[in-house]
Amino acid sequence: MAQFGISQPLLRLEDPALLCGEGGFLDDLSFPNMAHAYLLRSPHAHAEITAVDTAAAKAMPGVLGIYTGVDVAALGDIPTLAFPPLVPDTEYHHHGQPVLARDRVRYTGESVAFVVAETREQARDAAEAIQVDYNLLPVIIDAKATTEPGAPQLWPDAPANRAFEFQLGDEAATDAGFAGATRVVRLDVINNRVLLNAVETRGSLGRFEDGRLILHATTQMPHRYKEQLADKVFKVPRDAVRVLVGDVGGGFGGKNGLYAENCMTLFAARDLGRPVKWVSDRDEAFLTDTAGRDNVTTGELALDATGEPLAFRVRTYANLGAYNANGSAVSPTNMHMAPNCYRIPQVYIRVTGTFTNTTPVDAYRGAGRPEITYLIERLVDKAARELGEDPIAYRARIALQPEVFPYKTPTGLTYESADFGSLLEQAKTRVDWQGFSERRGESEAQGLLRGIGVCLYIERCGGGPALSEAATVDVQPDGVVTVRIGSQSNGQAHRTSYAQVVHEWLGVDPEDVVVIQGDTDEVETGTGTGGSWSIPMGGGAIARASDKIIEKAKRIAAQKFEAGESDIDFSDGVFSVIGTDLRLSLPEVSALAQDPANLPEGEEPGLGGFDRFVPENHTFPYGVHIGEVEIDPDTGAFALLNYTVVHDFGRALNPLLLEGQVHGGIAQGIGQALFERTVYDDDGQLLSGSYMDYHMPRASDFPDFDFLPVETPTVANPLGVKGCGEAGATGAPPAVVNAMLDALESLGVEDIDMPTTPESVWNAIQAARG
């Protein structure tokens, strides 16, 4: 095992610079003669723009330019990227977002004018002097109500505000399963809208140099930005656009897609001949960052007389917001994990994507997997209660057994392998499941309610056959190895992870590995970061490229030593002739490779390798989450007492990074389950527009997380890793809400929606008491 290679707890190489204030975030950037931008945003959720008067604003000190929708009419809209399979005889009505509103605004906070001045303060003052006349229009904010007769219409070509009708599975077979059911378990759930809330807000800095548009951005997908900007917005050749990304303080999916501000800083920079910078205030982030979740769903689980599942049916209304630009359709249609870990032979899902007068919705950590997992795990828990069975025992009874793998699901996926029963038993032991009744009795003696909740789940990660990632690895004569890769770190420690892969394959000290990312000139191609695919796909590409380096280096060493290539051994960064003391280090081979005279015929100078890794299948990490809560029935106040995770993520690349990812995901999942919710009033005004009103969880809200990793390497990539980024956000909501309902069951509370705030808990108790 390499000293700093795969499975070793190497400390993050990124942290010394970040902790010493030497990070390179967007707001740290400054260029000579740089101007600053501020946006005038709509105060209304739905209105016609009848007039815009910028005369007074243009005359104010320091103002360099003011742009409205008329000025940027030649720019294309931010494009729609996700086109799901549709229900037959239905249409997809897609509406990309204009970079500035033209004749109408469709959500509070939409960009109306872009003001550029010498300072940000001058730009803000000028924005406040712009006069806009609005003709107010009716507003609709609810995902399902927007489809009802008489609801206000956002787009004339989308009747009943329906953007699309998506289906997955076999409707007739599922209906037959329900027809033969002894019991049907039904549940209505709301998957609450949540916000990005990254530590670093979004930002954009545009430059125009030598006829090229150069964008510095806070994104997870720089190459996608480049393609969208060139192909759809500015309509220029791709080589006329360069995207640069430095350190990024959190993404979580909300920094995947292109935003209006990215386009406008470039437009203004080209128009003014000066760099233009915009950085979001936190209040702008609340208004304008793409949101996550926001679905209204009915789920039904058909069971036979023994409690065995026969079919699973889902009906969802997904709030897309005012536009369906970027990947808005990804999350509500990413429902392939619907059967979860269970023997459910038939599944049918129908999703209606709807337009509303709210901020657009896009991917948020997990992008569809948390939503469908929440539904099925709530239903399975309810089924166990109705059947009078222990929730862990019932899950183990209906779970897929190890001997059925590889297993093709009714939604078309092929699970590689799993042992759900083993993980359930390990989790059961770890939380002292048998001792819970005693702990519950101790709480009751104090007038408190205690509950325990379970989530068993599996998810698809690792990119899958539809995606790929490429990497170029170059070895220099001084021993430095440069990795150029298209994924983009936004806090996950890619430099550390990729350095460990290089160390594992080439024996190079991690400190000597340079990772270049976030520059579309330096890195020719890239998929970006999302879906827990950076390490499975990016690491796989680095491993394959390193294999090519080793093969070439062996040919060079064989020629140098006048030996057969098969006689060359490579270990710990050294090439040697088997059975002799002839040795060359990797840097020495690189030095030889610079001179064509040292190379076998047909070899190019240099020691490097390029490869693109295309997975043949997804990876399928799976795990068990168990939460334990205590509730005060008089006030609804609660405490999360214990939280345990037993999880198989495949081979752990770095146990420290793995645990950090799991902890962060759990925190976000618990945040959604207990605290976070975006609230609009009936006029589309955001009521939860600050941390005074949007409850972010604090460290004091969490217990110490108990995490037990189980390692079953996958064959889906050369590293054996499965991916861990979304696990906590997927498993935590059902585990915590099931625990809350377990605590409240004795009072007759059968259902509660997220977030289960003290107020909603108290109201549920009062309603149950009549």
- 665, 733 in Cβ contact below 8 A? no
pLDDT of residue 60: 98
DSSP code for 47: E
Alpha helices in 236-315 (DSSP H): 260-272, 282-288
Gap between the Cα atoms of 332 and 294, Å rounded: 9
* Token duo for residue 574: 């050294």
The answer to whether residue 8 scores a pLDDT higher than 80 is: yes
| Measured torsion, CA atoms of residues 494, 495, 496, 502, in degrees rounded to the nearest 10 | 100
Contacts of 644 (CB under 8 A, 6+ apart): 427, 430, 431, 624, 625, 626, 627, 705, 706, 707, 708
* Cα three-residue angle 210-527-373, rounded to 5 degrees: 145
Percent of the chain exceeding pLDDT 70 equals 100
Amino acid at 602: G
For residue 128, how many other CB atoms are within 10 A of its CB? 12
pLDDT of residue 515: 97
Percentages helix, strand, coil for the chain, rounded to the nearest 5? 30, 25, 45
Gap between the Cα atoms of 680 and 357, Å rounded: 10
pLDDT of residue 4: 84
Over residues 412-468, the pLDDT tens digits come to: 999 999 999 999 999 999 999 999 999 999 999 999 999 999 999 999 999 999 999
The answer to whether residue 160 scores a pLDDT higher than 50 is: yes
> What angle separates helix 727-744 from helix 758-769, to the nearest 10 degrees?
30
* Token duo for residue 737: 């809400």
pLDDT of residue 458: 97
Give the rounded distance of the alpha carbon of 448 from its chain centre.
Answer: 37
- Taking Cα atoms as reference points, which of 585, 561, 434 lies closest to residue 508? 585
The answer to whether residue 258 scores a pLDDT higher than 60 is: yes
Provide the sign of the torsion angle of the four alpha carbons 227, 232, 234, 235, taken in this order.
positive
* Token duo for residue 434: 């048998």
pLDDT of residue 33: 98
Gap between the Cα atoms of 48 and 152, Å rounded: 14
Gap between the Cα atoms of 712 and 71, Å rounded: 57
Q: 3-class secondary structure for 730-762? A: HHHHHHHHHHHHHHHHHHCCCCCCCCCCHHHHH
Residue 3 banded pLDDT, cuts 50, 70, 90: confident
φ and ψ at residue 262, rounded to 5 degrees = -60, -45
Determine how β-strand 131-136 pairs with β-strand 47-53. antiparallel
Contacts of 766 (CB under 8 A, 6+ apart): none
Gap between the Cα atoms of 268 and 66, Å rounded: 9
Gap between the Cα atoms of 241 and 246, Å rounded: 17
Q: Average pLDDT of 484-513?
A: 96
Gap between the Cα atoms of 54 and 116, Å rounded: 13
Contacts of 57 (CB under 8 A, 6+ apart): 63, 66, 115, 126, 127, 129, 130
The answer to whether residue 522 scores a pLDDT higher than 80 is: yes
Q: Average pLDDT of 383-411?
A: 98
Gap between the Cα atoms of 702 and 437, Å rounded: 22
Over residues 107-155, the pLDDT tens digits come to: 999 999 999 999 999 999 999 999 999 999 999 999 999 999 999 999 9
pLDDT, averaged across the chain = 96
Over residues 543-566, the pLDDT tens digits come to: 999 999 999 999 999 999 999 999
Burial class (CB in 10 A: 0-12, 13-18, 19+), 759: exposed
- 636, 662 in Cβ contact below 8 A? no
- Taking Cα atoms as reference points, which of 470, 361, 457, 378 lies closest to residue 418? 457
* Cα three-residue angle 40-43-44, rounded to 5 degrees: 130
DSSP code for 372: H
pLDDT of residue 79: 94
pLDDT of residue 615: 95
Over residues 196-226, the pLDDT tens digits come to: 999 999 999 999 999 999 999 999 999 999 9
The answer to whether residue 654 scores a pLDDT higher than 70 is: yes
Block residue for tokens 């409690």: 307
Q: Average pLDDT of 733-757?
A: 97
Distances (CA, A) of 375 to 47, 182, 318, 321, 396: 36, 21, 14, 22, 18
DSSP code for 145: G
Distances (CA, A) of 104 to 51, 53, 161, 347, 583: 11, 16, 16, 41, 72
Gap between the Cα atoms of 494 and 484, Å rounded: 12
DSSP conformation letters of 81-139:
-----B-TT------PBPSS--SEE-STT-EEEEEEESSHHHHHHHHHH-EEEEEE---
Q: What is the pTM of this model?
A: 0.96
Amino acid at 327: G
pLDDT of residue 1: 47
Strand arrangement, sheet containing 295-303: 162-169, 347-355, 309-321, 295-303, 183-191
DSSP code for 596: G
* Token duo for residue 501: 């892969």
Strand partners, 625: 455, 645
Percent of the chain exceeding pLDDT 90 equals 98
pLDDT of residue 707: 97
